[in-house]
Amino acid sequence: MESKIRRTDLFLIIVLYNCKLETSQTYNSILKNNSFLNLNGVIYDNSVESQDIKIIPSIGDFEYIHNPENPGLAEAYNFALKRAVELKSKWLVLLDQDTYITADYLDQLANFDLNNHPDVVINIPVVKSFDKEKLISPSMLRNGGFKPFNDIIYGVQNEKISGINSGTLINIDFLNSINQFNLLYPLDMLDHWYFREVYRRKKLVNIFNCEIFQNLSVQDGLEKNMSVKRYVGFVKAENLFFRTDSLNQYLLYKLRLIFRIYKQLRYKNKGYWKETLKILFAK
């Protein structure tokens, strides 16, 4: 059976937003640490201004796509999925612009066994904050919210876990079976949606024995790092996700919103708690 990684087996997408490629943590860390792979992929740029990028030979064969309409992640990922299918790739690798990609992670990709488990459709690394103190991914759905999954055992998981987009290696046949990335989640909660779909279809997730590091600014404070307008998009997606989950999780989520409002009442900007209140009483 085939298990050796070929150049076309993996297809990467790096999504940019108001970030020059040469300042992207993801791009620069791949340049620094990649001694294993000649990569295929796409740089999908949601910035207002395009960049003069025709070819990125230093990390492999990449296409540059500029979309100033900034449709978010789902549309960008679906574009990459289409390209990957054309190349007959087997796995899609999702990357944000501000992830530090380690040599260990790239080594996992280079030595990835395509037949590691017939039911595994997602592989993820452990993702930590840059200071290495906070675990960002994997996580678990508990009591209407997501909590870090601290009892990590590498390998195929028996527990139902979730994660973040960046660093996720997702099977292309599986993506096609769930009708691609869901445009109802253009940005937020998209990752949790497709992890949920894994378990609804009785598939599995594998955790690589490696770490990458991510700048997840919202962990440092909502008011400081997320505008009210941006928060509206987040909380609407969050509500949709839990509304389409179990009734128990949805009710617990609504209860969590009450506690969130209590915290947001202390914010200088009153827009946050007002928007949360709207979602609390929304269907």
* DSSP 8-state assignment for residue 182: -
pLDDT tens, 25-50? 999 999 899 876 678 899 999 999 99
For residue 140, what is the enclosing H or E element?
A: strand 139-142
**CA dihedral for 57, 58, 59, 64, sign (positive or negative):** negative
In whole angstroms, how far apart are CA 103 and each of 39, 77, 125, 145, 260? 14, 24, 12, 32, 39
* Three-state secondary-structure class, residue 205: strand
- Whether 207 has a pLDDT exceeding 90, the answer reads yes
pLDDT of residue 196 exceeding 50 = yes
Report d(CA 181, CA 193) in Å as an integer: 9
Give the single-character DSSP code of 162.
B
Instruction: Read off the pLDDT of residues 70-125 as tens digits, 9 standing for 90 and up.
Output: 999 999 999 999 999 999 999 999 999 999 999 999 999 988 887 778 899 999 99
* Residue 58, pLDDT score: 66
Average pLDDT over residues 169-191: 98
Range 10-219: architecture per CATH: Alpha-Beta Complex (3.90)
Domain residues of the chain, as ranges?
10-219, 221-280
Cα–Cα distance between 274 and 91 in angstroms, integer? 42
Rg (CA), the chain: 19
Q: What is the mean pLDDT of residues 202-218?
A: 89
Quick one: pLDDT at residue 57?
58
* Cβ 178 vs Cβ 194: under 8 Å: yes
Q: pLDDT tens across 237-262, in order?
A: 999 999 999 999 999 999 999 999 99
The string of pLDDT tens digits covering residues 154-176 is: 999 999 999 999 999 999 999 99
